[in-house]
Amino acid sequence: MYSCASLADPALNRGQAWDAVVESGLDGRVIATFTRAIYLSFPVGVVALVDSKVDCGPLHARLSFLPQVAVGDIANVVGETVIMNGTQITLPRLLWTPPTIPNVRRAGLLLQQLLIQSPVLDLGAGTDVWERATTALRTGDVVAACQHLVGRGIGLTPAGDDAAAGILLVYALADSDPAILANIADAAPTHEISRAFLRWAARGQAVEPVHDLIAASASGDVLGARQALRRLGALGHTSGLDIAAGVAAAISSLPPDRRATIDVDVQSVR
């Protein structure tokens, strides 16, 4: 879903995190570079310039090319232009926003069928960490659940952070107290890139295939859910599947008297 009708290439768009950067006009710096992504830290938050093949997301400005930069390079912002290492990058004006999901609870049954085997979370502190986190969720303690997970594991976004992001996203979409969710993300003992993803998950936004997975599952669209899950499976080493595990665990923990169900053809899922 895109926020405005436009003839512009929909592959070139930007997430909402860039709004604060543009409005502030403050300088930032490059904090990480990858083949398809450049992460920048500004006083108002962390954002990323990414290749157009990278999924849409709240931090991402998707571009047709990425400039040659190094960690530590200064990023000057002038209006909707970012200048780094002598290269001017015009930010896409098309704004990406995730689809509206009327009732996230409806996604639970199909997700349980699709995610029969939990992904390997590589939490680095024993398999019981995930069990403790899901037990905390079942008691309604989202704070404790995320505390068990955040900062554990390896990768650009540690596996535990990814699972916690899925949990925060679901609780945000289920209209939980935004202050509690924001505090969880702000206090997360992790690095600033991962914390930025957690903060946006707490606001109800993650990378596009996560929203597609929840939306398809909520509507009983088995094919769409499978396609979204495949896209998530290609995200990082296990990042996408770790997010999905967090999403599924969080939905299954929502209070029974507030959950909705949907008819799913189990045979078609398997």
Looking at the fold, whether 32 and 129 belong to one and the same domain comes out as no
Chain centroid to Cα 32, Å, comes to: 18
Question: 124 and 85: one domain?
Answer: no
Kindly tell me the burial class for residue 7, based on how many C-beta atoms sit within 10 Å of its own C-beta (0-12, 13-18, 19 or more).
exposed
Using the 3D structure, point to which of 65, 90, 115 is the last residue of a domain. Answer: 90
Q: What is the pLDDT of residues 187-210, one digit of tens each?
A: 999 999 999 999 999 999 999 999
Written as six digits, the tokens of 145 are 């659940």
Residue 11 placed within a domain: no
Question: Is there a single domain that holds both residue 55 and residue 136?
Answer: no
Helix (H) or strand (E) holding 32: strand 28-33
- The reply to whether 79 and 121 lie within a common domain is no
**Distance between CA 114 and CA 238 in Å, rounded?**
16
Domain termination residue (choose one: 36, 65, 90): 90
Q: In sequence order, which residues have a C-beta less than 8 Å from that of residue 71 and are 6 or more positions away?
A: 30, 31, 32, 33
Query: Following DSSP, what letter does each residue of 155-178 receive, concatenated?
Result: TTTTHHHHHHHHHHHHHHHTT--H
Number of domains in the chain: 2
Q: In terms of domains, do 227 and 254 share one?
A: yes
pLDDT per residue as tens digits for the range 17-58: 999 999 999 999 999 999 999 999 999 999 999 999 999 999
Reply yes or no on whether the pLDDT at 180 is more than 50: yes
Residues 77 and 137 in one domain: no
Over residues 166-189, mean pLDDT: 95
In a domain, 265, yes or no: no
Same domain (yes/no): 120, 232? yes
- Same-domain check for residues 123 and 238: yes
If you ran DSSP here, which 8-state letter would residue 196 be given?
Answer: H
Q: Which domain holds residue 57?
A: 17-90
**Which of 90, 124, 154 is the C-terminal boundary of a domain?**
90
- Backbone conformation region of residue 151, classed left if phi is above 0, alpha if psi is from -120 to 50, else beta: left
Pair (254, 126) in one structural domain: yes
The answer to whether residue 5 is domain-embedded is: no
Same domain, 185 and 118: yes
